Amino acid sequence: MAEKRLRVLVCLNRVKDEDLSETLARCFYDCDAVKEDSPADRVSHFALRICAAARLPNRRSSFREFFINSERLLFRRRIEIMAAAVAAPGLSHPHPFLAVLKNLRRHLRRFLELSVRSEFVHLHDCVSDMLDSGYFSTNTSVVEKDFVVAEVPFYLVPSLVRTRRVEIVAGRARITSGDPVLECMEDLFDFLLRDSISNHATTAPGKTSTTDNITEVLCDIVLNRFDRSLSQVSSCGEKILASEVDNLSRSRLFPPCFSALQARLKVEARLQHSARIAYTLFLKEIGLPHEEAISFWTHHYSRRPTSGSACCHEWQTDRRRFEYSIGHLYGLRGARTDYSAHSCATIRSRCATSPMEQLACPFVKSSPPDIEDAVKNHCPSRKSRQRMNALVETGDCQSACACLLSGDDPDDVAFAKPSAFYFLARARLVQS
């Protein structure tokens, strides 16, 4: 169940806004792990939340932020669907938010019985004000625009404060009817989720060793699936075009190994067989469809190669061979195997044993000037460059590459494949 929910969360992060309604509808019908308030929904959310809160060796914070942001996105889509369902005049049934808020107030009262924290007192008062306002007991489409639904401490609704969409009086934000109500609920959900994860992480060390072992096994399974999901192209994921690859390769999204390979291909118009195979699989995993892959390689291999090129084949004379090879790698020809792209470990191993290999990790046996040239597209800070050089000296190439995503703290991210680097970089770009 947790794996199914994870696939949906990854999918929601990739899909474009205009496709969200269709995607979410398909997810709800096809996946019981996100059917709201179902047993599978609760269990799968709790399992992933345990992994997000785990403070175990070698666990990264990237999954925690992904989980929080994705669950917030899922919650947002759910309340938007609820709001759309009651937008039409003539509402004759209870507003769906009523059940959500009543359930939340019930849980908050239980929290307050255990610990009287000011944040939860304020949160309970906010939810009670929303219920007592009568806003959800009538047709919200005919409520006055400036109708005050609740007043909450400003720190509970940071997104509304940041975008200046609320009036703040004496430290309290006035939540008016319409979109501010939806965003307020989203902020409250985010606050509760972050607090529960923080609380779980704080209390986890007091658990038994058996519980710790179970948590570690669960984290291993989920995080491996997470890394795999990031590097797989979902049917609802964002696709890229052949014409976009060159610009992407010169952005912060591309890992430096494939940025260098694209630069070589652009100049020489050819690649070694092994490098072409690896690049095709990488582009496949980051979202280049089969027909776009044909266009991409047609463009480059139709050009005249430079002298001393690693390949003498031409698209005009070897078209059928190239098209079959690409279709085979996409699982459309031959045995129809869905091949996976190369891992970072495979690339490092090959370039370490074969000095002539075109696809190489820039952090293997490289001098500081070579590394600076390889990572120039990522514009790392001086501190990050110093940290990368120090990690290269110790042979920790993976962490050196991770500095490109997390500044000077490589423990903040985890990836095992260049395609996973791409998706992590894109996710961070969207969040920034």
Confidence grade of residue 142 (pLDDT, cut at 50, 70, 90): very low
For residue 53, is pLDDT > 90? no
Q: State whether 198 and 224 are in the same domain.
A: yes
Tell whether 16 and 138 lie within a shared domain. Answer: yes
Instruction: Average the pLDDT over 141-151 and give the result.
Output: 68
231 or 12: which carries more pLDDT confidence?
Answer: 12
Closest CA to 73 of 127, 13, 124: 13
Output the pLDDT for position 281.
96
Place of tokens 């084949």: 313
pLDDT at 180: 80
Do 115 and 70 share a structural domain?
A: yes
Record the pTM. Answer: 0.53
Same domain for 258 and 279, yes or no, is yes
3-state class of 23 per DSSP? helix
Q: Mark whether 203 and 300 lie in a shared domain.
A: no
- pLDDT value, residue 78: 78
What percent of the chain has a predicted confidence (pLDDT) above 90? 17
Burial of 261 (0-12, 13-18, 19+ CB in 10 A): buried
Confidence of residue 211 (pLDDT cuts 50, 70, 90): low
Residues 161 and 290 reside in one and the same domain: no
The per-residue pLDDT for 23 is 53
Whether 29 and 154 share a structural domain: yes
* pLDDT exceeds 50 at position 58: no
The answer to whether residues 347 and 276 belong to one domain is yes
Tell me which of 169, 201, 230 is where a domain ends.
230
Domain count within the chain? 2
HSE-CB for 332 with a 13 A CA cutoff: 12
Angle between the 418-431 and 2-14 helix axes, to the nearest 10 degrees?
A: 60
Range with the largest mean pLDDT of 142-146, 261-265, 386-390: 261-265
Same domain, 81 and 163: yes
**pLDDT mean across residues, the chain:** 79
Q: Regarding predicted confidence, which is higher, 318 or 31?
A: 318
Of these ranges, 81-95, 349-363, 367-381, the one predicted with the greatest mean pLDDT is 349-363
Question: What number is the average pLDDT over the span 318-346?
Answer: 90
Range of the domain at 123: 2-230
**According to the model, what pLDDT value does residue 196 have?**
83
Q: What is the pLDDT of residue 92?
A: 53
